[in-house]
Chains A and B, each alone.
Chain A
Amino acid sequence: MGGPALTTFVLYIGGVLALAWLANRLLRDKNFLSEYFLGGRSLGVWAFALTFAATSASGGSFTGFPSKIYSHGWVLALWIGSYMVVPICMMGLLGKRLNQVARISGAITVPDVFRDRFNSAAFGLLATALIVFFMSFNLVAQFKAGSLILKTLLDSVALFQDASQGLGVAVNEWSFLAGVDPQYLLCLFVFGIVVVLYTAYGGFHAVVWTDVLQGVVMVIGVAILLPLTLHQAGGLTKVTQEMAQMTPPRAGVADLTVSATPHERVVTAGAWAWIESDAGERHLIRLAAAITIGAQQKYVADIRILELTTPSQIERVRTSERTLWMDESMALGNLRTTAYASGEAPGAYVTAPGPSQHSADGFLPLSLAVSFFIMWAIAGSGQPSAHVRLMAFKDSRTLRHAIASVTVYYSLIYFPLVIIFCCARVLMPGMETESDRIMPAMVIFVTDHAGLAWLGGLVVAAPFAAVMSTVDSFLLMISSALVRDVYQRTLRPDAEERMLRRLSFGVTLLVGFGAVLGAIDPPRFLQDIIVYTGSGLAACFLAPTVFALYIPRANTAGCMAGMLGGFGTHLAMYGAGIFVHGSFFRPVHLFGLDPILVGLAVSFVVTFAVTRATAAPPVHLVRRYFYRD
């Protein structure tokens, strides 16, 4: 991707920063905290709808989700199926009532709502602690996503390559940065600085306005990508038929033999090569990671590779002019691969439960399909980042129109994404080695192929926008939790506005740059982190919020117990995954159910039981929130 695309992209970033500057002007002469963290509760239809949609459609939607579609095929339509009712559930189940309760209490943040609804400082602090805990993890994952997208965009720009090489040399002596890809590092710094600065400077208004811009960019990106992809893949019927013949690739290792040279050499990740077995069979493999061959080194063992097994994919790689082949002087041998645990029969990519590398039950057994249907729609209603937006719309007419708008908006995004990345399986074989990069890689592939490279900048801006809109919202939520709930309401209730203003800017910067540091060595799987934090927040917040809003008898003890019960159960199931499956991100599924289901069930039951077993709430609180006078 060259100059024109980069120009489009830079213009987009310029637009984002200009909006932040305008937003900062709005902060003058107004109630600072209310404006900075909640936009003065004045969001109209489009601002509310698009900030809601853009924040929910996170980096996961444009990086992790495409990666999963690519890796598992059509079954992802079922995985994401409950998005048909997500807008009406996420906005309609709690929206009207939450907005009303927040206005009654004057709440600016989600912990404020609990603190005021139950008149309990301890409850507010508990909610703050959980939000900071989960969102910090998520923030790190989103920073990684943004940086990977930027890296793909700038990959072939000479200035970027020079700058990243320079950075690599400059940081080489810093032990904690040793081994970090300098290109990734440069992108992380650029992405981090832009997002943190505009969020800190402009506050909630900046986040909302940039969300609107980003929401528009996202839908335009998908609208452009869909026809281009379908055209290049030869139509959806052809794609599905070809997918029906596909067999899962094999993952494994091989050994490399080279002639010694006096210089160190690097073989790029993603390069293709043929390996001939002892039986004379030829295998097409792709490098899953870059190889560094030291000076005078002749042999490198255990190189991670992916072997294609589908004839049509092998033929496409073999005949493509774009294929990057390994240097022919390097010989690979001693190939050792393992098949997917779900089997190698064709058809897995067009049926349920879909292929899985690790599980013999496939990617989405029925119990997990039910879990995800609950997770996106119902658990989505328990997300504090959504609650903040539900506290910020202007009136109930705005809510009605926004639900309708987001319903249509999501329909234009999610199902088309399934189609686009099913086509990607046909157009770009072997991307399992770096499937988190499939979205930007696909954008560049189809726009270049169509001779519309300049369009690539705008379309790549779509996933970038999705990540940005989530990062800025989460960043602001963490800083609002610390400034408003910990500092102002707990430590210094008499703090002056000037102090709060400085602290808000400072904490937002501090949290943002802290997350950038965390993302220097991020966990590997984006979508796994996003699922963990999203489901964890829902397990903690949904039941207490429902009881707080709709049950007059709800009390502090019941709702706090439900929050802790959900948190503990969810964490225990993930923690048990370390002992049972060897990984925190492969949680135990009790009775085949995802942790979110069990966490939610425990949270609701505990909230109900403890509420019943403990004293009724003070009458004045019940009158205040549930009666006309």
Chain B
Amino acid sequence: MILSDAESTPPGNVPDDSRLDPTFLHARREAMVIFLVWCVALVWSISICYWLGYGVSTTHLATIWGVPAWVFWGIATPWAVAVVFSLWFCFRYMVDDDLSGRRQTALAEPLDSGDQPEVVG
């Protein structure tokens, strides 16, 4: 689904990939990691809940700290793991980037409708 840089960059006077904005590259890499984590959470929760929680008998309902076992292993546990991962991701993995638009605004062509780009940074 996602186009590679080679095919996504239009022909013409665009610089080569080495000139790609580092903030764009960092944001894209971080987005891919986040998407992967969401996939893991989906597979974990859905498969455990399906295995332990769907259509099971409640004659001897297993609970852990009062929580049905399928909720504990399928939701509560990955939730705790997701919190730990998110903290690691935020404080160890994510890069601080310059989000300022000054440089690019200076290069930009005038916007339509007489609107002037606002430089904030």
Q: Which residues of A contact B (CB under 8 A)?
A: 31, 34, 40-41, 74-75, 77-78, 81-85, 87-89, 92-94, 96-97, 99-100, 102-106, 108, 115-116, 119, 121, 235-241, 244, 346-347, 350-353, 366, 369-370, 373-374, 377-378, 395-397, 399-401, 403-404, 407-408, 411, 415, 419, 488-490, 493-494, 549-554, 604, 608, 611, 616-617, 619-620, 622-629
Contacts of A244 in B (CB 8 A): 58, 61
Residue picked from A41, A84, A103, A374, most chain B C-beta under 10 Å: A84
- Report B66-94 residues with CB < 8 Å from chain A CB: 66-68, 70-71, 74-76, 78-79, 82-83, 85-87, 89-91, 94
* Contact A78 B96, beta carbon cutoff 8 Å: no
CA distance A599 to B88 in the complex (A): 33
A-B contact pairs, 23 of them (CB 8 A): A77-B71, A84-B82, A84-B83, A96-B30, A97-B27, A102-B101, A103-B120, A106-B116, A106-B120, A119-B111, A121-B113, A346-B58, A351-B56, A351-B68, A352-B54, A374-B42, A400-B90, A400-B96, A408-B83, A551-B2, A552-B9, A623-B13, A627-B15
Contact: B28 with A240, CB < 8 Å?
Answer: no
Q: Nearest chain-A residue to B60 (Cβ)?
A: A244
Check A628 against B68 for contact (C-beta < 8 Å).
no
Contacts known (A105-B101, A494-B114); A626 close to B107, Cβ less than 8 A: no
Instruction: Tell me if A350 and B34 are in contact (CB < 8 A).
Output: no
CB-defined contacts of A89 to chain B, threshold 8 Å: 34, 38
- Structural contact, B86 and A404, CB atoms closer than 8 A: yes
Docked Cα-Cα span, A351 to B31, in Å, equals 34
| Residues of chain B within 8 A of A108, CB atoms compared | 118
User: Could you say which residues of chain B place their CB within 8 Å of the CB of A116?
Assistant: 111, 117
Cβ 8 A contact of B42, one of A82, A353, A604: A82
**Could you say which of B22, B53, B117 has the most chain A C-beta atoms within 10 Å of its C-beta?**
B53
- From known contacts A351-B54, A623-B107, infer whether A552 and B5 are also in contact, taking CB-CB under 8 Å: yes
Tell me if B113 and A373 are in contact (CB < 8 A). no
What distance in Å separates the Cβ of B82 from its nearest Cβ neighbour in chain A?
Answer: 4
Cβ–Cβ contact B12 & A619, under 8 A = yes
Question: Of residues 43 to 59 in B, which have CB atoms within 8 Å of A's CB atoms?
Answer: 45-46, 49-50, 53-58
Q: Is there an interface contact between A77 and B86, defined as CB atoms closer than 8 Å?
A: no
Given contacts A407-B83, A552-B14, 15 further A-B contacts (CB under 8 A): A78-B49, A81-B74, A82-B38, A82-B42, A106-B120, A116-B111, A237-B63, A244-B58, A397-B96, A550-B2, A550-B31, A551-B2, A619-B14, A626-B24, A628-B103
Q: Which chain A residues border B50 with CB–CB below 8 Å?
A: 352, 366, 369
Are B117 and A400 neighbours in the complex by a CB distance under 8 Å? no
Residues of A close to B58: CB separation below 8 A: 244, 346-347, 350-351
| Minimum C-beta distance from B4 to chain A (A) | 10
Closest to B95 in A: A396
- A87–B120 Cα distance when bound, in Å, is 26
> Please, how many angstroms separate the alpha-carbon atoms of A624 and B86 in the complex?
32
B91, A78: Cβ atoms closer than 8 Å: no
| Contact A93-B104, Cβ < 8 Å, known A236-B67, A244-B61, A494-B114 | no
How long is the Cα–Cα vector from A314 to B46 in the complex, in angstroms?
35
> In the complex, A608 Cα to B42 Cα: how many Å?
25
Chain B residues within an 8 Å CB radius of A408:
83
Give the CA-CA distance A623 to B79 in the complex, in Å: 41
Bound CA span A97–B70, Å: 38
Identify the interface centre among A75, A92, A553: most chain B CB within 10 Å of its CB: A92
User: How far is it, in angstroms, between the C-alpha of A100 and the C-alpha of B95 when the chains are bound?
Assistant: 14
Note all chain B residues with C-beta closer than 8 A to A92: 30-31, 34, 89, 94
Known A-B contacts A31-B118, A350-B61, A622-B14; A78 and B45 likewise in contact (beta carbons under 8 Å) = yes
In the complex, chain B residues whose CB is within 8 Å of the CB of A40: 120
In the complex, are the beta carbons of B78 and A353 less than 8 A apart? no
Residues of B within 8 A of A550 (CB): 2, 24, 27-28, 31
Within the assembled complex, what's the spacing in Å between the Cα atoms of A370 and B49?
A: 11
Asked whether B46 lies within 8 Å of A366 as measured between CB atoms, the reply is yes
Of chain A, the residue at the smallest CB distance from B108 is A624
Collect the chain B residues with CB atoms within 8 Å of residue A400's CB: 90-91, 94, 96
A227 smallest CB distance to B (angstroms) = 14
Contacts of B119 in A (CB 8 A): 106
- Contact B101–A235 (Cβ < 8 Å): no
Contact: A608 with B99, CB < 8 Å?
no
Chain B nearest CB, measured from A213 CB (Å): 25
Which residues does chain B contribute within 8 Å of A552, judged by CB atoms?
Answer: 5, 8-10, 14
**B76 — which chain A residues lie within 8 A by C-beta?**
77, 415
Smallest CB–CB gap between A219 and chain B, Å?
15
The reply to whether B75 and A81 form a contact with Cβ atoms under 8 Å apart is yes
Other-chain contact of B68, A88, A238, A240, A378 (Cβ < 8 Å): A240
Chain A residues with CB under 8 A of B105: 104, 106
Let me know if B10 and A373 touch, CB within 8 A.
no
Q: Is the CB of B49 within 8 A of A616?
A: no
Knowing A352-B53, A369-B46, say if A489 contacts B115 (CB, 8 Å): yes
Please give, as numbers and ranges, the residues of chain B lying within 8 Å of A88 by CB-CB distance. Answer: 34, 37, 82, 85-86, 89
Residues of A within 8 A of B103 (CB): 628-629
Please, which residues of chain B bring their CB within 8 A of the CB of A411?
79, 83
Q: Which residue of A lies closest to B58 (CB)?
A: A347
Check A373 against B46 for contact (C-beta < 8 Å).
yes
In the bound assembly, the distance between CA atoms of A201 and B112 in angstroms comes to: 30
- The reply to whether A104 and B101 form a contact with Cβ atoms under 8 Å apart is yes
List of A residues within 8 angstroms of B67 by Cβ: 74, 236, 240, 419
Chain A residues with CB below 8 A from B37, complex form: 85, 88
Q: Which residues of A contact B83 (CB under 8 A)?
A: 84, 407-408, 411
CB <8 Å contact, A396 and B49: no
- Which residue from chain A places its CB closest to the CB of B81 in the assembled complex? A84
Expressed in whole angstroms, the minimum distance between the Cβ of B66 and any Cβ of chain A is: 3
When the two chains form their complex, are residues B114 and A622 in contact, meaning their CB atoms are under 8 A apart? Answer: no
